[in-house]
Amino acid sequence: MFRGPLHVGTVFCASLLLFLIQPMMGKLLLPRFGGAAGVWTTAMLFFQVALLLGYLYAHWIARLAPAAQTALHLALLAASCLALPILPWPNAAPASDAAPEGRIASLLAASIGLPFFLLSSTSPLVQSWRSRREESPRVYRLFAVSNLASLGALALYPVIIEPNLGVRRQLALWSIGYASFAALSAASALTSGAPAKPRAPDPAPDVSITRRLLWIALAACPSALWLAMANTLSQNFAPVPLLWVLPLAVYLLTLALAFEGERWYRPAAFRIALPVAWLVMAYGLIRRSPWIGIKWHIAVSLAALGVCCLFCHGELARRKPSCARLTSFYVDIALGGALGGVFVALLAPRLFDQYLEYPVSVAACVVLAMALLYGFRARRVARLAVLCTAAVVFAAQVNDWQDGTRIRRRNFYGALQVSDTGVGETALRILGSGAVLHGSEFAGDALGRHATTYYGPASGAARAIQCLGVRPLRAALIGLGAGTLAAYARTGDFYRFYELNPQVIDLARREFRYLSQSPGHVEVVAGDGRLALARESGPPYDLIVLDAFSGDSIPTHLLTREAFALYFSRLTPGGILAVHITNHYVDLEGVVLGGAAEHGRRALAVASPADADLATRPAVWMLITANQAALAQLEPAAAPPAARPRVWTDEYSDLFGVLR
């Protein structure tokens, strides 16, 4: 007997669990692999490949006899339950910081590989079971249910789960949820046998390769668009870790609406809406408007993304095949989604020296629309593709010309640019990443040794060095930038910088003079600062500086109870831990206060103003020490605490709670 609500519940539960486990596992991986952005990228690629494999499995098993399908699926469900409960991995850090992708993928495969694989296969498989008894386009509405559940998980995790539960408890509850899903899936399989009346074979001809390629293209374009927009927004406007949630939510919402019914996508309306969306995106690529705030800019960009994604998903829904070819249709959708992810995550960093995947994805949307919505012939579409490519190159050149950019670099860790501004002795050379400033240096010899940006003489870092009064000084500095803090090293001092991105190290040495002209002994260690400090066994430091919070993500593993314990174990009894927390989008003061209090130390917030003559910017530093003499010197410049203490651990952090 067919159980419609049972099928709906199974699909909903599978998709909810599918999107909940992804941030949980990412959170578990970060402190073990140095907090690099590539950790998220590698994990995302693993999930996309697992999704594709799940869809391929659903397509293959749907061709078996009903009894064989049920037996095989029940056996796999039982085997997957042997992996429960999912637990954090002990001693999972890689042997070295180089190329951890294989280790990350193997950990994910060993811990959640089979459960994730079966969750991925559920939506197309249950739809194929339902189509045995109901040969109707309504079967495709289960795909909308699947995407609505994914959207719900996306909202649920940062708002409810992450702020209230550590990763260990999250995984325990997820394991219970998976056991419930396995029971639902088994019941769906057992109640979805052969149809009461055998159905005649579908007389429709096989789907052409051209049509399948179109399905793949219509799935790849929005996948690349949302990922590219997440990269671009994080790079240029709001460098907060949760920003990727917004474009992904738009992507999932449009997918759900397109497959829920035909009323959400009307081609006539989109012939007008799409050009408006393209103009909005093109204007944002050339220059952010000075008269519109960041929040409005993000909102308008997301609205434009929604129009483009709904066009692609709407065209996909219009071209869906009969239920007899349902599973192969979903395989092509999954393949397209994976290809879009591969383009943004793997190919773009190797092909482009800046974030060009966004305009390329917009151009792909234009080409698809001209062919499908406006009826352009193939030759005109080809000419348009060439024109779009030229427009992308032109927009990139305009950006470089306006910004005075002289060097662009990009790799696994992000995009960097070196630009020159001003003239004469006060000309500046700037190291940045989109709108984020990593350091600058005066071009002239008279001011070339002065510390700029967030490190001027009134900054918390400079005050910590001054009040320590230790000579020679031993300092460990996590985060290199342009190497500005080396300006404070004197003869006999020992400064050791830790930098995860090798291109930052190369640019700091080639394009800036702070490292080469420092009178002190300056070393640069490639790798994550926390992992490198944990491996060291040398003398303790008088000063440890954390300055790794100005990129497009917050490395939460550097702010946990376990991280603070490491820092204090590597400090001398009277040493100072200086944490740079300048940020327009997140407030880290409470997290630093909590970490200090957990280890019996006091933290002071020291803010410094901008000084145009010294090219310094407003900066906020937290200085932590048990040295009473140092505290007495620092206190007059400190502000009273403005946040309540928060304690993060390697298993618990609440990024949503520190957004401004």
DSSP codes joined into one string, 472-488: S-EEEEE--TT-GGGGG
Total length of the chain: 660
The closest alpha carbon to 43, from 117, 102, 95, belongs to: 102
Model-level pTM? 0.79
Q: Which pLDDT score, from 0 to 100, does residue 91 have?
A: 53
pLDDT band at 486 (very low <50, low <70, confident <90, very high): very high
One domain, residues 169 and 216: no
Q: Decide if 202 is inside a domain.
A: no
Whether residues 546 and 613 share a domain: the answer is yes
- Residue for token digits 């066994």? 537
| Span 461-490, average pLDDT | 90
Amino acid at 287: R
pLDDT score of 660: 67
> How far is 99 from 92, CA to CA, in rounded Å?
15
In the chain, count H helices and then E strands. Answer: 21, 12
* Residue 562 exposure: Cα atoms within 13 Å on the Cβ side: 12
Rounded Cα gap, residues 174 and 17, in angstroms: 7
Instruction: Supply the pLDDT for residue 311.
Output: 94
- Both 185 and 247 in one domain: the answer is no
- 375 & 269 share domain: yes
408: three-class secondary structure by DSSP: strand
Do strands 638-639 and 602-608 pair parallel, antiparallel, or not at all (unpaired)? antiparallel
Beta bridge partners of 638: 606
Are residues 220 and 131 located together in one domain of the fold? no
**Does residue 314 lie in a domain region?**
yes
pLDDT band at 222 (very low <50, low <70, confident <90, very high): very high
Residue 337 · residue 120 · CB < 8 Å: no
Nearby residues of 368 by Cβ (< 8 Å), 6 or more positions away: 217, 218, 221, 311, 312, 315
pLDDT score for 396: 62
Half-sphere exposure of 219 (CA within 13 A, CB side): 24
Mean pLDDT over residues 582-599, rounded?
86
Helix (H) or strand (E) holding 604: strand 602-608
Distance of CA 340 to the CA centre of its chain: 15
Residue 97's pLDDT is 47
Domain shared by 44 and 182, yes or no: yes
DSSP 63: T
305, part of any domain: yes
Structure tokens at 425: 């002795």
Tokens representing 226 are 């949302």
Sequence-separated (6 or more) residues with CB below 8 Å from residue 247: 225, 226, 227, 229, 230, 233, 302, 305
Alpha helices in 320-459 (DSSP H): 326-342, 348-351, 357-372, 378-403
Whole-angstrom Cα distance, residue 476 to residue 490?
15
323 within domain boundaries: yes
Q: What is the DSSP letter of 625?
A: E
Predicted confidence band of residue 353 (pLDDT cuts 50, 70, 90): confident
Provide the pLDDT confidence category of residue 625 given band limits of 50, 70 and 90.
very high
Q: Is 415 helix (H, G, I), strand (E, B) or coil?
A: strand
CA distance 551 to 480: 12
Q: Which tens digit of pLDDT belongs to each residue from 509-534?
A: 999 999 999 999 999 998 888 888 98
- Same domain membership, residue 190 and residue 213: no
317-345 confidence digits (pLDDT tens): 888 887 677 778 888 888 998 899 888 87
Q: How many structural domains does the chain have?
A: 3
Q: How open is the CA angle 468-469-474, to the nearest 5 degrees? A: 70
Range of the domain at 154: 1-88+98-194
Average pLDDT for the chain: 82
State whether 463 and 530 are in the same domain: yes
Beta-bridged to residue 576, according to DSSP, are: 543, 625
- Give yes or no: residues 388 and 527 share one domain: no
Torsion from C-alpha of 192, 194, 198, 199, nearest 10 degrees: 40
Q: What is the CA radius of gyration of the chain?
A: 27
User: Residue 300, SS3?
Assistant: helix
In the chain, % of residues over pLDDT 90: 27
* pLDDT for residue 26: 80
**233 and 160 share a domain?**
no
The encoded tokens of residue 576 equal 């100072």
Residue 440 lies in a domain: no
620 part of a folded domain: yes
Q: Which amino acid is at 444?
A: G
Phi, psi of 628 (to 5 degrees): -65, -35
Q: How many CA atoms lie within 13 A of 642 on its CB side?
A: 12
Residue 138: predicted pLDDT: 65
CATH number of the domain enclosing 148: 1.20.1250
CATH code of the domain covering residue 629? 3.40.50.150
DSSP labels for 82-93?
Answer: TTPSP-PPTT--
pLDDT score at 36: 59
CA atoms within 13 A on the CB side of 515: 21
Q: Above pLDDT 70, what percent of the chain?
A: 85
Are 327 and 384 part of one and the same domain?
yes
Q: Which range in 353-357, 455-459, 556-560 is most confidently predicted, on average pLDDT?
A: 455-459
Q: Is residue 201 part of a domain?
A: no
| Least confident segment among 50-59, 423-432, 615-624 | 423-432
Among 403, 433, 463, the domain-final residue is 403
Point out the domain boundary residue: 194, 226, 249.
Answer: 194
Q: Answer whether residue 410 is part of any domain.
A: no
Among residues 403, 435, 469, the one where a domain terminates is 403
Structure tokens at 224: 């690349």
Q: Express each pLDDT in 266-315 by its tens digit.
A: 888 988 898 888 888 877 655 554 445 566 777 888 899 999 999 999 99
Residue that the structure tokens 């009178």 belong to = 519
Q: Name the one residue in this structure whose structure tokens are 């002289």.
A: 406
Residues 241 and 655: beta-carbon distance below 8 Å: yes
pLDDT at 98 over 90: no
Residue 351 CA to residue 344 CA, distance in Å, equals 10
Question: Are residues 8 and 112 both part of a single domain?
Answer: yes
